[in-house]
A and B are shown apart, each in its own frame.
Chain A
Amino acid sequence: MTMEPEKVPERLTTSINYKVLLLIFGFIIGLQIFLSSISEENADLLITSISVINPLAASAAGFYVAKKYHDSNVFGKSYFALAMGLLCFGLGELTYVYYFFINEDPYPSIADVFFFGFYPLAFYHITKNVKFFKAKIDIPTKILVVILPISITGLYSYLSLQQIGEANFDYYYGLVFISASSIVLAAAILGARVFRQGLLGVAWLVLVLGILLTTVGDVWYYYLETFEQYTLIHPVNLFWYASYWVITYALYKHQNII
């Protein structure tokens, strides 16, 4: 019996499964509806558990991918950094919850150190990949990448200052996080453009969506904190939950492709 040689397709393709994204968005909207139907105490307890479990689950997925690529100098280290960043988010949530349950103000607190830890680690993850593939980036693109964080911090400043009428401590404190978050988003967009021509383009596009959701959550959260309107069950949390799951999906796509 002769074996037919396996044909390599002329064009390797991979695509985003939009059903997964719809499932994620549907689930978290369902969660918010459910939270609105239960008592405040139960809602706090449920949201606390989910807030801690979500980033830790995404971090575990990151460590799994990093372990898979441990022989690769680029992917091994960069995915380990991303997993560490997600772990920082998880530790930040744990510390936040601790302060909340001992009736101390969790914002600002030591939890913010962990939350902030995500940004340099995610930035390292992106730049390590982009540098390795030695992409040539022209000046207008570099300018666009600089304009994006400026626009996002400008948006945060406009909304906050319009609401509170003065630049208070909470505004400046939030500005640090928004700046970091928007720089990571700009870098992720750059990464997606670099990888767009390759098979990893899909994974990077999903990663950009995940980081974009984190940035949306960050802008809304720090805007709310400037006039102390954030509560544990506020819908801003949905953006972070969605971002963790979308990032996990990006990790899955990445390890599935190569």
Chain B
Amino acid sequence: MKKTTLVHVSPLTVIAISFCVTGMGMVGYLYYSDFVEQYVEKDGNISTKFATPKDVTVYEVTNKDISPNTMILPSQISIIDDYGDKKNNILSLGDLFRVLWIPLLIIGSYILVHSDKGIVSRVRV
């Protein structure tokens, strides 16, 4: 009698597990974000959360035509446009990757574990 068994895990189970794991991260992150926001509102000195500078574009306007009658402008006028909000609306490849890498890793690992060819094992236990 052959005392062997085959580990069978259906693809549906793997998708469910990958959703569980990704969901775990996302739910955790949502609660964490709320938590951080609460403390930022309270005393404004929490961690390094907002250390990343916003994306800004600086336009330099120079007044080259200087004559006695013209009003002298300051040599540089900085016009700062905040593109932070606009940037958030576009889903880039990086954003997509940031969201999908965990389920992709789980599904990839599943495929690697369950591919039938390639290994001749002598396992009897």
Contacts and interface: CB of A to CB of B under 8 A. Distances in A.
A212 interface: yes
Given A155-B97, A198-B121, A235-B28, A8 B113 contact: no
A68 B34 CA distance: 46
B122 A12 contact: no
Contact of A155 (B101, B112, B118): B101
Contacts of B29: 235
Nearest to A40: B39
Say whether chain A's binding surface is mostly helix, strand, loop, or mixed: helix
Interface stretch (B3-11, B60-68, B71-79, B83-91): B3-11
Contacts of A158: 94, 97
A12 B113 contact: no
A199 B123 CA distance: 9
A227 B34 CA distance: 20
B27 A216 contact: no
Contact of A201 (B7, B17, B31, B36): B7
A189 B6 CA distance: 16
A208 B109 contact: yes
B7 A162 contact: no
Interface in A111-163: 133-138, 140-141, 144-145, 148, 151-152, 155, 158-159, 162
B88 to A, nearest CB: 15
B54 interface: no
A228 B97 CA distance: 21
Interface string B103-123: 001101100111101111111
Most buried by A among B13, B32, B46: B32
Given A21-B17, A227-B52, A238-B24, A12 B5 contact: yes
Contact of A194 (B23, B24, B28, B121): B121
Given A148-B112, A229-B48, A194 B123 contact: yes
Contacts of A134: 122
A137 B93 CA distance: 35
A13 interface: yes
A192 interface: yes
Contact of B119 (A14, A40, A141, A235): A141
A236 B49 CA distance: 15
A244 interface: no
A152 B105 contact: yes
A57 interface: no
Contact of B125 (A16, A152, A200, A238): A200
Given A155-B97, A155-B101, A193-B113, A25 B122 contact: no
B21 interface: yes
A250 interface: no
B123 A193 contact: no
A244 to B, nearest CB: 14
18 contacts: A13-B5, A25-B20, A25-B21, A29-B28, A32-B28, A35-B31, A36-B32, A133-B123, A134-B122, A135-B122, A141-B115, A148-B109, A159-B94, A194-B123, A196-B121, A202-B7, A208-B113, A216-B25
Given A138-B117, A216-B25, A228-B48, 9 more contacts: A11-B5, A21-B20, A28-B28, A29-B28, A190-B119, A198-B4, A199-B5, A200-B123, A231-B47
